[in-house]
Amino acid sequence: MKEKRESFKSTLGFILATSGAAIGLGNIQRFPFIVSEGGGALFVFIYLICVILIGIPLILVEVALGRHTKRNPVSAINMIRPKSFWRIGGALGVLTVFFILTYYSVIAGWAIGYIFNMLFNVSIDIKDFSQNAFYSIGYMSLFLIIVVAIVIRGVHKGIERWSKILMPLLFIIILILVVRSLLLPNSLEGLKYYLKPDFSEVNTKIFLLALGQAFFSLSIGGHVLITYGSYAKKTENLVRSSGYVALFDTLIALLAGLVIFPAVFSFGELPSQGIALSFVVLPKIFLQMPLGNIFGAFFFLLLAFAAITSGIALLEIPVIYFVDSKKWSRKKAVLIIGVLVFLLGIPSALSQGSNRFLSNMKIDLIGRQSLLDIMDFVWGNFTMVLAAGIIAIFVGWVWGIRNVKEELAIGSYGFKRIAAIWGVLVKYIIPVLIFVILLMLFI
């Protein structure tokens, strides 16, 4: 039997759930080391411009398509252009989030494991931790069990209810950590690095890094926002709500930087250390502080909460596809997809040293080694941006800017003042920028 489609019960629920879908490891674990790769404050400045001019317009594209059709990404496109080529954009988004979840669960599991490591003063290098198959697979399983348990309860009782719990807790924890970090000796140097841009250092690389991070952080291209938009009420002010989603997502990323950079500079560490920044440098810093194990556990609890809110959305996309298109019950879809994610996640969990073949896999064209890193490039970078480009072209040139404007104007009376600018961005500028990002991924 076809189950009745649920909706978010309140505007707050829609905003918090959609913000939670966007807020994940990309904001707290990935954003700081991309900032360091981009040179600090100048990257932050350009990133904010990208969020405003590129990120928010694309959020509006996806939520408008979702609310208008009340369908999953594939069915939404099919409803507007039946049996057309454009369905590939929706299908690509569904596949993208499914495969992202297979390796994302591994890293999320590390975050959960490090909560206990910090709490009980267990000193273990991330290399040794990730090479331990028992740790990697065990904590990945725990993460997936939590996510499955929430998603199986549905939109209102599961996703919306838990978003209202987890999002406030996430903000409280990160504010506690910001205060602690700013009170450290010599934290001002970290603030200068993070907040005082040097505009003489502007270059193409920084713009591309900022654009890529905006896509990754806001979950654009995985069609999470199409799905969550399909749960929005017709009276929802999508423009205002989308602005809040972008604001909360960006705020969490900026606050993560205020946690990490003052601490890094206070203890004389280098900010440009990639993934080691969160899993090697910060644990070492926390263990040198008074009550550092408590603050360290809070940091990784923050990472875990962020991972869970995103994991919920990543699982919901393929689930609602099978509920809508194949008439599966929610319980059946969640359990089958959850098991598949776990099974396909095991190779990524073993590719960090546990299995030589999976760890030594290499594709020279993209400069990635290990199955997990290859998966991240293919699904977390290439297909996500490609799917976003297909949807932007579909909305701008096939469905039509006029139709999208009419959808966004429902409940959003002030949208008409910016509609013309938004239309130009979506129809002309954003597709070109997406093409440039895709090109630069292989250069």
Q: What is the mean pLDDT of the chain?
A: 89
Decide if 232 contacts 67 (C-beta within 8 A). yes
Flag whether pLDDT at 2 surpasses 50.
no
Q: In which domain, by residue range, is 195 found? A: 11-440
Flag whether pLDDT at 25 surpasses 60.
yes
Q: Is residue 305 part of a domain?
A: yes
Give the pLDDT confidence score for residue 381 in this predicted structure.
79
Which CATH number is 397's domain given?
Answer: 1.20.1730
Q: Is residue 256 part of a domain?
A: yes
- Percent of the chain residues past pLDDT 70, beyond the cut: 98
Q: Is residue 1 part of a domain?
A: no
Burial state string for 363-381 with b = 16 or more CB within 10 A and e = fewer than 16: eeeeebebbbbbbbbbbbb
What's the rounded mean pLDDT across residues 13-18? Answer: 91
What does residue 355 show for φ and ψ, rounded to 5 degrees?
-125, 125
153-187: pLDDT as tens digits: 998 889 999 899 999 999 999 999 999 889 988 89
What's the rounded mean pLDDT across residues 393-416? Answer: 90
pLDDT grade for 135, boundaries at 50, 70 and 90:
very high
At CA 435, angle to CA 431 and CA 440, rounded to 5?
A: 150
Per 3-state DSSP, what percentage of the chain is helix, strand, and coil (rounded to 5)?
A: 80, 0, 20
Give the pLDDT confidence score for residue 276 in this predicted structure.
64
Q: Is residue 212 part of a domain?
A: yes
Q: pTM of the full predicted structure?
A: 0.90
Q: Tokens for 397?
A: 């040139």
Flag whether pLDDT at 272 surpasses 70.
no
Low-confidence winner among 112-121, 267-276, 315-324, 330-339 (lowest mean pLDDT):
267-276
pLDDT grade for 121, boundaries at 50, 70 and 90:
confident
Q: Is residue 76 part of a domain?
A: yes
Flag whether pLDDT at 424 surpasses 90.
yes
- Measuring CA to CA, which residue among 287, 304, 295, 281 is closest to residue 112? 304
What's the rounded mean pLDDT across residues 372-383? Answer: 88
Q: Is residue 246 part of a domain?
A: yes
Give the pLDDT confidence score for residue 237 in this predicted structure.
93
pLDDT grade for 443, boundaries at 50, 70 and 90:
low
pLDDT grade for 365, boundaries at 50, 70 and 90:
confident
Q: Is residue 262 part of a domain?
A: yes
DSSP per-residue string spanning 187-245? HHHHHHHHH---GGG--HHHHHHHHHHHHHHTTTTTTHHHHHHHTS-TT--HHHHHHHH
Low-confidence winner among 85-89, 272-276, 394-398 (lowest mean pLDDT):
272-276
Give the pLDDT confidence score for residue 384 in this predicted structure.
86
Domain count, the chain: 1
**Distances in Å between the alpha carbon of 300 and those of 103, 137, 180, 269, 279?**
18, 18, 15, 19, 9
Give the pLDDT confidence score for residue 1 in this predicted structure.
40
Flag whether pLDDT at 3 surpasses 60.
no
